[in-house]
Amino acid sequence: MRSTFFEKGIEYQLEIDGENWNQGGFINGQLSIKNINDNTITVNSINLVLAYGLKKTIKEKKESTWEVLEKIILGKNLSVQSGQIKSFNWNINIETDFPITDKKGGLFLLFGSEEVFSRGGMLDLNIKLHPILQNFLQTLTTQFRFLEKYQKRKQDWTEVKLLPPESREFPNLESVTCLLRIKNENFEISYSFKMKTLGRSGQQMKITKKNREFFQTISKDNYLQIGGFPNRKYFKDKINEALNTARPEVIF
């Protein structure tokens, strides 16, 4: 991927390897500047910023748009002759709990001078769930036949909503919302089961709704097998344990 930006006779060109990245991965790239003036120019600083932004506020160019996750100063007080090109290689880690890309926003690379936030180049990144989280969700949808409705960022988590299969196993379950993340190498899952219950209100029977919560923490030794492969059998057992929260005690 490539993006170009011009400021005060300097051409900034950002190139990165790849099109998509997972949480827990890394991005490699190069930022080059070229002096297209006739005279030598001094560039005070060359900045590269990884930041989260909402698409709406970016479009409206509102102040305080960016949530900065990492900032790199690639060069300071550089004298660049006419026609000269200076290039800088860089590497950024995508932490396991960094935001994924969803409909509302995502991660961006900003590049340019010291005024990079108000006047600089921008390249949006497509960030997907950590592979372990992807495998966990695949187990939930294939082994237990839940239907995924959406994924979105929620603070330091990824929120995923799923609908249960049509079966006698979950007659009172409307949906389950999972908050997922890997933090300090632990896989954390917070379940919220939206349940229907039948109760009496005065002389009448009435259907009400309530949430049942369940939380799990899975260590790296358990979610990874030897060789670094996801432990799907362990995922199946942990999901089954959590789903007991939503199962009726007696199935007719």
Query: What pLDDT, in 10s, does the model give residues 119-175?
Result: 899 999 999 999 999 999 999 999 999 999 999 999 899 999 999 999 889 999 999
Q: Distance (Å, rounded) from C-alpha 136 to C-alpha 222?
A: 13
pLDDT of residue 111: 96
205 forms bridges with which residues in the sheet?
A: 200
| 129 Cβ contact list (under 8 Å, min separation 6) | 22, 23, 100, 137, 151, 158, 180
pLDDT surpasses 50 at 252:
no
Average pLDDT, the chain: 92
Q: How confident is the model over 163-180, as pLDDT tens digits?
A: 999 988 999 999 999 999
Q: Is the pTM of this model over 0.75?
A: yes
Q: Distance (Å, rounded) from C-alpha 45 to C-alpha 13?
A: 15
pLDDT of residue 60: 83
Neighbours of 122 (CB within 10 A): 17
Q: Span 15-25, mean pLDDT?
A: 95
Token code pair at residue 79: 């004298």
